[in-house]
Structures are given as structure tokens and as C-alpha cells.
Amino acid sequence: MSGWDDPGLTKGKGGGSDFYSLQQGENRLRIVSKPAYIGKHFSGPGQQPIVCRGADEGCAGCIDGVKVSSKWLLWVIDRADSVIKQAELGYSIIKAINELGCSDQFGFESMPEYDLTINKKGSGLETEYSVLPDRADTPLTEEEKANVSELDSPEDIVESLKRPEEQTKTEPF
């Protein structure tokens, strides 16, 4: 199997949804879209991040030399409340999911056919994550399939967030 073709692991209908945030301990979710890379600049504590547009596009964060925080935007179903939510996951989690996708036992072409449990332990720079697949495939319900089919692609969402007029509308992570 192949996993994701290229979710940008080299680092470099959206409105109205809840935003998924990993909690301490076990977080059970179902991925329902491919990830799209999104870089953000943080200018200081308590400040809203701005989405990186790249220095060539006049990104203020790049011009000021502010480090880019690399995340991947995707849609998930939060199994705690069965709500589809936008999530921003970090490199180590996306890499672990992609490794599952490339494995003989848990491989997938486009989307995993099973739920995942992401364990979060610690905080700040001391945070550790582990990603575990469910033991069995879990088909999406017809209602979940219908809801997923109405979502904007993560790539389209990221591109809209790069527009200057959208910079104040990003979710903090």
C-alpha cells in the first residue's frame, strides 16, 4: 500500500465546523481527508498566528525572520462526539500515520479505513505522541459519507487562509 502520496513531509465547505484539539491521554478519531501543509508564524505569547504565504508573496513573518511552525490541516471525525472537525496535526503524527499507510498490515491508498487513537503525553516541548490504529476496519456510516462529501478540501482552505484578508480568521493551535 502507499499511504499518502506526499503530504509535504519534507516540511516545507469549511465554515461552521468545530476545531479538533488533542487532549492529554487517548484521542480517538477518524481521518476523512488528505492533509494539506500549513505553516504559521507566531509573533509572541497571546498573539494570533498568521498563515505563512512565503517571502516571495510578501509574508510579514518571513520578512521579519519569525520561525514557521509546520502543521498539516485535515478533516477528522472526533469519535468522542461524532462531529466532523478541522484538525492541525504536527509532523511526528502525520509521519506516523503515513508510515501506517505504507505498512503491509495497515496500509491504505487514500484514507485509512480504520479509526486511530493518538496518545498525547506531556506539554510544550516535552510533548510526546503515539499513533495506534484500530484492530479492525470501521466503515463510515452513510450520514458520515454524506457529510464528508460536502467538505471543502484542506488545500482550498489553506489557500484561502493565505489571503491577507483571511489572516485574522485562523484558529490558534
pLDDT tens string 11-28: 334 444 589 999 999 999
- Whether residue 118 lies inside any domain: the answer is yes
- Whether residue 50 lies inside any domain: the answer is yes
DSSP state, 12? -
- Whether residue 46 lies inside any domain: the answer is yes
- Whether residue 2 lies inside any domain: the answer is no
Q: Which grid cell sits at 133?
A: 490504529
pLDDT of res. 5? 56
Given a cut of 50, the residues of the chain with pLDDT beneath it are 1, 6-16, 168-173
- Whether residue 173 lies inside any domain: the answer is no
- Whether residue 130 lies inside any domain: the answer is yes
pLDDT of res. 4? 59
Q: 117 near 28, Cβ under 8 Å?
A: yes
- Whether residue 109 lies inside any domain: the answer is yes
pLDDT of res. 15? 45
**How many separate domains does the chain show?**
1
**CA–CA distance, 68 with 91 (Å, rounded to integer):** 13
Domain around 114: 18-163
Gyration radius of the chain's alpha carbons: 16
pLDDT of res. 1? 46
**What is the reported pTM?**
0.78
**CA–CA distance, 109 with 125 (Å, rounded to integer):** 32
pLDDT of res. 172? 38
pLDDT of res. 120? 96
- Whether residue 1 lies inside any domain: the answer is no
